[in-house]
Structures are given as structure tokens and as C-alpha cells.
Structure 1
Amino acid sequence: MSYNLLNKEEVDKLKANQPERFNHEMKGGSYLKLQNLDLTPLEGIDVDKLNEAARIMRGFIFSMLEASQSGHPGGSSGKVEQFFGMILGGAFAFDPLDPKNPGRDRLVWSAGHCSPGLYAGLTVLYESLKKVGQGFDAKKLRAVMADDLPRFRRHDGPQGHIENYYPLSDIATGPSGHGMPSAGGMAIVHKSSGLSTNVWAFMGDAESEEGMTYEARNILHTVGADNMIVAFDYNHNGIDGLIEEVVSSPMINHWLGLGWNVIEIDGHNILECIYAYRLAEQKIFDNGNPTVVVAHTLKGKCYGVVEGTHKSHGAPAKHDDYVQVMKSLRFDIPGVQGEASKDIEHVLSQLTSEVAEYISERLDIAKSLVKTEQELVGEMKTKLGDRPLVNPITIRRPDTLPAELVFEQGKNTATRKASGAFFEWLMKQTAFFWSGAGDLSGSILVNKSEDVYGVVSRKNPYGRGIRYGIAEQNMAMMGAAMTADRLPGGFAPVSVFGSYAVFSSMMCNAIRLILIGNHLYPEHKGFFILLSAHDGPETGEDGPTHQGLYWMSMYTAYPGIKVYKPMDANETVEMLFYALEKGEPIALSVARPDTPVFVRGENACCGQFVPEVREAVNGAYIFKDYRNNGKKKTTLVIAGMQVLKNTIDILPDLEAQGYDVKLVAVTSPELFEDLRKTNPEKAHKIFSDEDRSLAIALHAGWKGFLYPFLLPPDYEKRTIAIDTYLKSGSVSEVYELAGLTASDIKERVIKILT
């Protein structure tokens, strides 16, 4: 029987005859609803004491916000029971006296604005330890104590958004939606290294609107990252209003449909929180999927008239409302405006010995869950077999390069082929290198490195290739964040992730976050390579949408990363070894077409000496010097092989017209600026002040890339600006940190003028 489905009667007939055609059973993760379930009390879990700890934690949150008069009460106060259920419930491995122990579970606050929650929680934990007589150096541990809270969001106090050096915080977060993929990158590294550790994330519901969180959910399910647990704060409110104004379909479908296990709870019921986190940690569903605990909560819980609304997000209460809130929580605070430190002291006085002793006991249980470093290294050895357990950041250039990393001079070889060969070689030297691409591995040539151990999957859990898919933001967030960790044994993960150079601009903010983390916590500084392939107009046939011309501007501006643009295949290898040795992240520009591999040495070009390939790591070198023949001198400063090749072709014409031409090949303006500071004599020989006055810059892309070669030689000394990452603080404090107050400007200007 045929059907004309353009006829409504025929549609109704089909529904009656074959109803299964109109129904689709969603196949995804497993589901368990604990919400409002009568749960058996658990041994060792004193709900009353934990609820009292929650009351005190909220007291610290609200009083520190009163002190700062800025910050985010809503999400912080909504996560209190989840915090204690996770940290003290018996599922989370953590030693408060060794908070960065490599055997700990990792925790990322994807909702990085919930810093009052972290600081208040840490204060409860560490003040409890102090109260029971446990000795520790709070500054060394980076613990937050009650007397730190009045300086919240000041340059010398707990910072405005969560930073990675604190206990129970492993990524510096802030922009919504970025932390969850960061945690996912760590989870992939831990799982694919054979470790039994878990990675947890506190996540708000509004930030799940961010596209990279969908990209992360996809890949984490695909690879079977069942060591990833998300505590999802489902309060229905963002900053502007209800999240249903953005996501109107059932929220749970956005997790179940992507293959995640879902446990649904009342997020203010500590017993439900503890059950959920233990079940997630025990992998109760036994299906290899990651788990999200969807906690129904009130945003701004207990925060007066704004409780349960978006208005609690980032606005501290007015003073009178604050006092009433604290009274309703049974804190008989002094409540004098401008003297919140006394209120904080009062909250601390409410922490009884009985509650402190109980918290100390629960922290002992958390500590007992931390496996020894020796045990965890043993896990990796067992799972990874005979792979070399070598710390990749200790690998150095061999005195004699292996044959696969040496490219024949005078032949044509694309720089992308050289970087691909390097990544394949590096993959064989260490068990802690990961490579991936945005659905372009065969084009940008990371595929051979992926093939060494295969792509990470459920069937190949210890692979080293990552199929990120067409998901550049998530790729950058995961790929960079996975390096911001130290595994048991001190191993520092290294990664390369790549796409076409023109798409590198989509990854800027994700990479910026990890650069900030590197700056804040250099002990866990991550080294990664952003492979910006098919750079320049060489992708000509694809048109302007694919021609990488301007992407490097942002990466040149960011502190903590440098753009490397090697001229040929051999330079590519040398510069990659140099980057690995320095340990500073790079954006590596490589091109698609086969281009010449320079002949070097005497009479190599134009009858002159071309320096050895290692000179590329200086950021610039003399490719052809002046002939000093009395003709008018000019210096051509060139970035990019094709431009250099084209310039060499017209050199005879320039010389015939009476010019004595010097060619300076530029591989990284930032490296050359470093050379000017560390070895000014050598830098001057390469590019003198006289050369600068005669210079013409050539680059097939953003013209600002070569501005450092055109500006006056003392331009840095004559520039008053910000060249680092700052701290929290008032406007006046931040300008003081930046050296840009009125008096600073006067002093610095006079110093320059004199």
C-alpha cells in the first residue's frame, strides 16, 4: 500500500497502520532519578553536621561578598551542598595537606565565577583542620583562611574568578563553558594513560549553552571517558533570565541524547548528593559513559528576595538585605556597614569543635582514597606496556638528527610534511604526547603521529590520536588544557592540535585561558603546539575564506605564546625542538605546497653564505648580506618562503637598477626580540639600526607581523602599556599593578624623555 503523505488523511492512515514510524526511542546514556527517593542513611555520614557546615559556608560566601561589594552569590550559594557532598562524601580523592598530590582526583570549576563558593568551602575545610590542632602552612598550600576573605577580589586576596593554584582547582576559569571541556581534556589524558583517577567539574546550566560544551560532550562519550563526572547545577537561571529562553527543549535530553549517564537529584539534599557522587565514582551503570549529576537547585539559595532568580547572579545584596539574610541563617553578626571582617569573624566562631572534628575525619577518608604515586605509575606501566615512560618536556634535539627529520637540500618539501614527521618521531619517544586535528589530520599531516598508537576510542583506550571533529573551540580548549597537569611520576602531557591557519582565530579565547593558567601557576605550565597549517595565500584556489592572512595577530599579542613561521622543512624541525626545550607554547605556521629546502653554506645563494639551519631559532638571520659594492643599500625583511623565493627571483633586477640588497629571513619576530635582549651583539649583526632605517618588510599576510623590524630600535623602551596578565582589584588597584597611575605615567614619561 502506498501513501501520499501530502494528503493529511493519508498521514492519519499511516499513523494508524504503522505508528512505529512516528515514534523514535532515544538511544543514549543510562538514567537514574534519586530526587525525593527515600534513601538509607550511610555509615559515617552525619547529615546534620554537614548541613551545619553548609550553613557556615553560606555565611562565609555572603559576608565576603559584603566585604568586596562585588562578586557572584547566586551560583556559589546554590552549590554548597554539592560541594560538601562531593569533597566529604567518600567519592573524591584529595589530601588537604598535599592538595596537588598527583594521585588526587582533579576538579575544574567550569563555573569560574563561583569563586566565593570555592573560597568559602576551602575556609570551612582548613579552619576545621586548624581548629582540631592540625598544623600546616596555609600560604604554602595556597589554602584560603577566614582572614583572607575580607580581601576577596583585591589584588592581594582571593581572586575574582577561580585560579588553578588553589586546592580543589585545576584550571584557571572564568568564561562560561570553557572549564568543562578543559576537564574533559584532562579526563582523556588520565584515562588513556591507564590511570584510575577521576576528573570532576562543577558546571552551571546556563554555560551549557556554550557550543564547545556540546562538542566536548560528544567526544567524551565517544572515547568512553567514564572517569569524567560533571556536577551540573540546574537552577534554570543565567545572567539575563531563565535559560528556557535559550534552551527550551528538555535539558536532560542534551545529556542523555549525547550518550551521557544522568543521575538526577535535589542539589540541596546532601544525602542525595553523596549517593549520586559515589554511584558515579563506582561507575554503577558499567557502560563506559561519562556521568552528569543533574542537581536541581535554587540560584542564590538563602540569599533573600533574589533567591531562585537570575538577579542573584552577580549582584551582592544591599547592606540591610544582607544583614537580614545573615540573621535568617542564625548569624548574630555585628552588621556594621564597612566592617564585614567582623561578620566573618562571627561566622568563624560558629564553627564548633564537633563539626570541625567531623570535617577532619571526612578529610582523612578523602585522603585515604589518594593512591600513592608509585602505585599509579605502576598502573601506567601495566596499561601502556613497553611505551617509553619519558617526560616529553625533557626531550632534547639529538646531536645527530634521525634520517626522517632531515630533508634533502635543494629539493621541494612542504613545511607541513616536516612538522608531520617531527610529531611522528616525538610520538615514538614518549608515552605522553597526544595529537589531533579538526577533521583535517590527513591534510595537515598529524595522521602519521596518530597512527603510532592509534586514535583514542573505546576499543583503543590507550591511543594517542584524538578525533576532535569540526570543533575548533573545543579542540583548543581540550588540547591546551590537557597539558596543564602533572601526572604521577611528574610526567607533563604535551599535545599538538591543528587546523587550517585561518581557523586558528576561533581558538583564541580557549588558548588564552591556558596561557593565563601558565602565568599563574608555572609549576604546572603546559606546553602545546597550535598547528596553524595551510597558512598564507597558498590556499589560493579555496578563496578568501580559507586563506590564512591575519590569524597570527592575536597570538602575537598574547603573552605566553609565540608564533613560529619557519622558512623551510629543516627549519621547521629545528624550531620545534627549540620550542620543546623552551617549554613555551607556540602557534606553528606551516604551508601546504612543496617549497624549496634551502641549500646552506658557502655560495649557497647569490654567491653568498647561507647560515646553518639552527640559526632559524634566533627569529631572524641574514639570508643574503650586502655586497658592499658602493651601491645604494636597502634591507628587505621577509617572512614566508614563497615571498622569499619570489624576492630572490627579482634580486638581479634590483641590483641592475643600482641597489645593494640585504635579505633578512624572519622566522619569529618575537624570538628575535628575545635575542635583542639576551644577545644584543648577535642581534645587531643580523639586523643593525642602520638596516632598520633602510628596511622594507614583506609578508604575505598581516603587515603588523613585521612591525618590530620597522619601528625605532628603542620602541619597547618608549612604549608604556600592559604586557602581562594582571590580578583582580578595583580600577585604581589594577592601574597601580599595571604601572599606569597618574604618578606612574609621569615618572615613566620623564624617564623616557631624559
Structure 2
Amino acid sequence: QIHAAQRAALKIENHQPTAIIYRTKKGWQYGIEGRASHGAGHSFCGEGFYRALRPFLEKFGLNLPVCETGKQRCLAGQDKETLEKCFWEALLSIRQGLEKSTPTVKYLAQRIRQARSRLEAQQRRPRAQAPVLSAIYETAAQKIDQIPEELQLVPGKMTTLRGELGRVLNYYNKISQGAILVAAADLLASTSVNLAAQGFAEGYYNAQSNPQARIISAGGICEDAMSGIIAGISTYGKHIGVGSSYGAFIAPLGHIAARLHAIGNQARQAIKKEPYRPLVLVCAHAGLKTGEDGPTHADPQALQLLQENFPAGTLITLTPWDPQEMWTLFTAALLKRPAIIAPFVTRPNEKILDRQALGLPPATAARRGVYLLRPAQNKRQGTVILQGSEVAYDFLQKALPLLIKEKIDIQVYYVASTELFALLPPEEQERIWPMALAEEAMGITGFTLPTMYRWIRSDFGRRLTMHAFQKGHYLGSGQADQVLAEAGLDGESQFEVIREYIRARQ
């Protein structure tokens, strides 16, 4: 039946992958079958174990090590050396059975050789102009400190974080001849991940009829399946798989595939020391500015599921506030070669601010994950650290002018990637964000309070730190500025809390 199903599948000419469903019985002839087999097997040296193996042993006239009840040589597994010896004797018995069945062994070996011959006869080779994944990493190393001219943004221009991420992906896709394959739930254009495939064949990828396309049909609104598919694509080491959806959904539903991808990349180190093979989970429409979709979609909790929640070096989250930072952050993450890159990008159009006129460092300062966004102008009265595009924009456009008017002089930091910062040498981390500042500062985040714990070390600072749930409830549905105001994260509210913070410090 198995062979017949496989032959039938090969005759289907729809140029799509074909699944064969095998219906089996778990634990068949083991003595513990079906649902009962999900768990521990027979007891150690139990009669059930020997009964399950008896047909094999009798056929070849073999015996397995066995002890009388209550007189086990290994003392019920406590004597590890004797236990290992019994295991070895059991394996040798199985080997003896195979040695007595030469025709079966030869047949199995022959089938393996035939499979190899069939594969070699196909003479499969990379197609002309095949993707060159290494070009992505080579370009990243060369241009980490220089935003390509075609990706540079002009102050005053309106754009989106998601759109700029799409353009960055497209840039890397073109220089690698299509080494990036993208998928989305029902949100290809909405999350702008479709931009990564511009300049390639239209439509969905099909190995036979549309091999030049770079968009994969992953089964619709099914982020867990999509994440598994892109993990498989990245695992082969020839492409980077990119999956996109609301951060509210892809962060939790993609978590299992991401975790298993990280486990696999780490396990591979046992046989070959090489960099991890990244996949990209685009956590789009992230945060409170997705307000009109309500609390089911405008989710501040998604970052907490991923940030610093994986072994060091396996996952990197990106939380840019300025679309100009997207090239630097994504490129810096690529160069670290994690198993997973998770950019958090918002939905609304944003105005590109003139960083130089505002006294802000260039966008490339985001490379180290945390940077001084605006220094104190004279005598520092306090320190505020921000994370999240929505709170950063409202701070710069609304809170900062009020602070300047009131002559409140603070220094302001921004968290663009917790993991990029964590991968810096300890002495550089201390130089950028000294422990003294962590004990002094308060924070403002569009995400949840625990995402600020690394940066805010004092009870005082944490008590004043502003976050999406500071009012104690999920937020309602409305335009972005209304939801920010409901959360108490709008610029005017930021100003009031910072003023309270400064007064409390005096």
C-alpha cells in the first residue's frame, strides 16, 4: 500500500507538493497500543517487553539478557555499568538476527543504493541565475554603516516601518538573485512584505510553472503552519524564509516553529560548527497604533513572548522607532546570524523627522541596540529610556517641546534591539548604559512592563515607568492617538509623568 501510494503521488501532474496520509497504530504488537502507548513502555525487564520481542527472538533462535524477578543484576537500574552491559548484549542479539537474515539485509542495502542511483541519474543542478545566499551576508558586512542610496529617506517624507522593512528585504533579495522567500497570512500587501518580491515574477512560487516568483502560498491565515514552512526553507541553508502577520498572532503562533528552529540550529553544531540559518518572523502591525482593530490585534504583549526569551544568540528582536533605522538594525541582526530575526513594525504612516535638526544621532546609531537618543543640554536632571515607535514619536513631537518649555533637562535613550545590545562585550554595555543610569532611570514603552526590567533597576524607576497596561486593563478600539491617550502614553501624559519623576528626584 505504501509503495502504491507513492507511485500514485508521482503520477499527479499538478506541479504541487503532494501529501500521503499514513494511518498506523501506535505501539502495534508491542502490547500497549493506541492512546495507551503515549507514555512509558513496559516496566524494566517486564514480561510484556520480552513478550513483544518473542516472535523475533524465536525466529532466529536468540535470547536476550533476563533476570529473575527481584534478582536483577543491575539492581533495577541503579547499577549503571551493568545496565549498559545488558543494553549492549541486547543490541548484539538484534545484530545476530540480522546476520542470520542475509537476503533481507542485502535487499535493504540494495534499495538504498538504487535510491542513490536514481537521484544521481536525474543530474539535478542549481538552475541558471540561482539564488546566492552568501551575497546577503557579504553585502551586510560591507554596508552596515552605510545606508544604500536607494534606501535613504528624506526628512518630511511619509512612510511606514513595515514599508521600509519590505524595501530592505527587497534590496537583499535582488543582490542575492532571489534568496529570500516570503509568505504572509492574508496580509501580503497590508504588512508590506510583498515588497520583498518586487522585480521578480508575479504570483506565487511554483517549482514547475513559476520558479522565479518569491512569494509562497502558505495556506492562508495559519501562522503556525506558515512559520513551520519558512523554518524548513531556512534550514536547508539556501534561502532565508520570511513570514509576516500581525505581531499579535505570529509571535505566539510562530513561537513553536521558531523554538524548534533554534533547537535544530544549536544541535547542528555537534556535527558542524557553522553560523545559524536565520528565518524572519515579521511582527507587523505591532503595538497600540493598530488601534482601530481593537485589543485583539493591537497587542502590546507580543514582544514579551520573544524578547530575551530564547538562548543568547538564537533570536534577535528589532524595535525601531524611526523608519530610517530599518536598514541598520536588520543588517546588524543578519551579521549576528541568529536562528530567528523578529522585527516589530507598526502600521501607520509616519513623518520622517529631521534627526540632525532635533539634535538626534544618525539612524546608524541603532546598530548597537541601545543608544543615546538625546543628551541633556546642560545639567542632567534625570534619565528616560524609550522603547516602541508610538511612544518615541509622541515623545519627540509632543513631550519634548513641553519639557524644553518647562526647562526640564533630561537625557533620553532608545532601545532598538535588546538582543543586539546583549551581544555586545560587557564593558561596552556598561559604557553605553551604565548600571548607575539603570538605577536612576524611568522608562516609557508601548509594550509591557517586564520588557523594561533590564533597563530599569530601581523600584522607584519601575513604579514610574509608563507602559501599555499601566491603567490595569486592555485598551479599546480607536484611532492611534485615541488609544495612546487611553493608555496614558500620549505626549502630554509622558510630560506629566516625567515632571513627576524629576520632582521626586529633587
Q: Identify the residue that residue 416 of structure 2 maps to in structure 1.
A: 667
Change (3 A) 1:356 1:524: farther
Amino acid at match of 2:234: T
**Equivalent residue runs for 1:392-411 within 5 Å:** 393-397=136-140, 399=143, 401-411=147-157
Q: Identify the residue that residue 391 of structure 1 maps to in structure 2.
A: 134
Q: Identify the residue that residue 326 of structure 1 maps to in structure 2.
A: 53
Q: CA deviation at 1:390?
A: 4.7
Q: Identify the residue that residue 391 of structure 2 maps to in structure 1.
A: 643
Amino acid at match of 2:149: A
The question of 1:519 aligning with 2:262 is answered: no
Distance 1:579 1:691 in 2: 26
Q: Identify the residue that residue 575 of structure 1 maps to in structure 2.
A: 329
Q: Tell me if the contact between 2:346 and 2:389 (Cα under 8 Å) persists in the aligned partners.
A: no
Distance 2:228 2:11 in 1: 29
Q: Identify the residue that residue 109 of structure 2 maps to in structure 1.
A: 360
Q: Tell me if the contact between 1:416 and 1:533 (Cα under 8 Å) persists in the aligned partners.
A: yes
1:209-247 alpha-carbon deviations (Å, 9 max, x no partner): xxxxxxxxxxxxxxxxxxxxxxxxxxxxxxxxxxxxxxx
**Equivalent residue runs for 1:671-750 within 5 Å:** 671-675=420-424, 678=425, 680-681=427-428, 683-711=429-457
Q: Identify the residue that residue 171 of structure 2 maps to in structure 1.
A: 425
In structure 2, runs of 5+ residues without a counterpart are: 75-82, 459-506
Q: Identify the residue that residue 377 of structure 1 maps to in structure 2.
A: 125
Change (3 A) 1:545 1:425: same
SS at structure 2 position matched to 1:442: coil
Q: CA deviation at 1:297?
A: 4.0
Amino acid at match of 1:288: H
Q: Tell me if the contact between 2:315 and 2:419 (Cα under 8 Å) persists in the aligned partners.
A: no
Distance 1:376 1:531 in 2: 33
Distance 1:665 1:293 in 2: 51
Distance 1:292 1:647 in 2: 53
Match of 1:310 among 18, 35, 47: 35
Q: Tell me if the contact between 2:320 and 2:344 (Cα under 8 Å) persists in the aligned partners.
A: yes
Distance 2:346 2:23 in 1: 50
Q: CA deviation at 1:445?
A: 0.6
Q: Tell me if the contact between 2:303 and 2:447 (Cα under 8 Å) persists in the aligned partners.
A: no
Q: Identify the residue that residue 298 of structure 2 maps to in structure 1.
A: 547
Q: Identify the residue that residue 187 of structure 1 maps to in structure 2.
A: none
Match of 2:310 among 555, 558, 563: 558
Q: Identify the residue that residue 228 of structure 2 maps to in structure 1.
A: 477
Distance 1:462 1:335 in 2: 61
1:109-160 alpha-carbon deviations (Å, 9 max, x no partner): xxxxxxxxxxxxxxxxxxxxxxxxxxxxxxxxxxxxxxxxxxxxxxxxxxxx
1:452-493 alpha-carbon deviations (Å, 9 max, x no partner): 22222474244210233111111111112210113xxxxx21
Distance 2:410 2:365 in 1: 20
Q: CA deviation at 1:510?
A: 2.0
Q: Identify the residue that residue 621 of structure 1 maps to in structure 2.
A: 371
SS at structure 1 position matched to 2:124: helix
SS at structure 2 position matched to 1:377: coil
Match of 2:66 among 311, 335, 341: 335
Question: What is the TM-score normalised by the length of structure 2?
Answer: 0.75
Distance 2:423 2:265 in 1: 19
Q: Identify the residue that residue 26 of structure 1 maps to in structure 2.
A: none
1:539-579 alpha-carbon deviations (Å, 9 max, x no partner): 11221112131111111112221210112112011111222
Change (3 A) 1:370 1:525: farther
Q: Identify the residue that residue 175 of structure 1 maps to in structure 2.
A: none
Q: Tell me if the contact between 1:395 and 1:580 (Cα under 8 Å) persists in the aligned partners.
A: no
**Equivalent residue runs for 1:99-114 within 5 Å:** none
Match of 1:529 among 261, 280, 293: 280
Give the share of equivalent positions with the same residue, in percent: 26
Q: What do you get for the CA RMSD once the two structures are aligned?
A: 2.6
1:321-357 alpha-carbon deviations (Å, 9 max, x no partner): 1122222322421223554412222222222162444
Change (3 A) 1:290 1:321: same
Amino acid at match of 2:377: R
Q: Tell me if the contact between 2:288 and 2:390 (Cα under 8 Å) persists in the aligned partners.
A: no
Q: Tell me if the contact between 2:184 and 2:193 (Cα under 8 Å) persists in the aligned partners.
A: yes
Distance 1:588 1:564 in 2: 4
Q: Tell me if the contact between 1:327 and 1:333 (Cα under 8 Å) persists in the aligned partners.
A: no
In structure 1, runs of 5+ residues without a counterpart are: 1-264, 266-272, 487-491, 713-754
1:622-679 alpha-carbon deviations (Å, 9 max, x no partner): 11112343x6x2110001233123223333544565643000011012222222xx16
Match of 1:590 among 341, 345, 359: 345
Distance 1:570 1:366 in 2: 52
Q: CA deviation at 1:616?
A: 0.4
Q: Tell me if the contact between 1:692 and 1:709 (Cα under 8 Å) persists in the aligned partners.
A: yes
Amino acid at match of 1:450: A
Match of 1:412 among 146, 158, 166: 158
Distance 1:471 1:443 in 2: 16
1:360-390 alpha-carbon deviations (Å, 9 max, x no partner): 33332233234399x4334x22xxxx46545
Matched length:
416
Distance 2:322 2:374 in 1: 16
Change (3 A) 1:527 1:288: same
Match of 1:301 among 28, 34, 37: 28
Amino acid at match of 2:434: S
**Equivalent residue runs for 1:148-297 within 5 Å:** 265=1, 273-280=2-9, 283-295=10-22, 297=24
Amino acid at match of 1:707: Y
Q: Tell me if the contact between 2:439 and 2:457 (Cα under 8 Å) persists in the aligned partners.
A: no
Distance 1:547 1:476 in 2: 21
Q: CA deviation at 1:296?
A: 5.0
Distance 1:289 1:687 in 2: 52
Distance 1:303 1:411 in 2: 69
Q: Tell me if the contact between 1:517 and 1:525 (Cα under 8 Å) persists in the aligned partners.
A: no
Distance 1:645 1:310 in 2: 55
Amino acid at match of 2:257: A
Distance 2:18 2:155 in 1: 53
Q: Identify the residue that residue 465 of structure 2 maps to in structure 1.
A: none
Distance 2:231 2:5 in 1: 30
Q: Tell me if the contact between 1:636 and 1:695 (Cα under 8 Å) persists in the aligned partners.
A: yes
Question: What is the TM-score normalised by the length of structure 1?
Answer: 0.52
1:9-55 alpha-carbon deviations (Å, 9 max, x no partner): xxxxxxxxxxxxxxxxxxxxxxxxxxxxxxxxxxxxxxxxxxxxxxx
SS at structure 1 position matched to 2:411: strand
Amino acid at match of 1:637: I
SS at structure 2 position matched to 1:496: strand
Q: Tell me if the contact between 2:285 and 2:346 (Cα under 8 Å) persists in the aligned partners.
A: yes
Q: CA deviation at 1:288?
A: 3.3
Amino acid at match of 1:692: A
Q: CA deviation at 1:444?
A: 0.8
Distance 1:372 1:695 in 2: 67
Q: CA deviation at 1:294?
A: 4.4
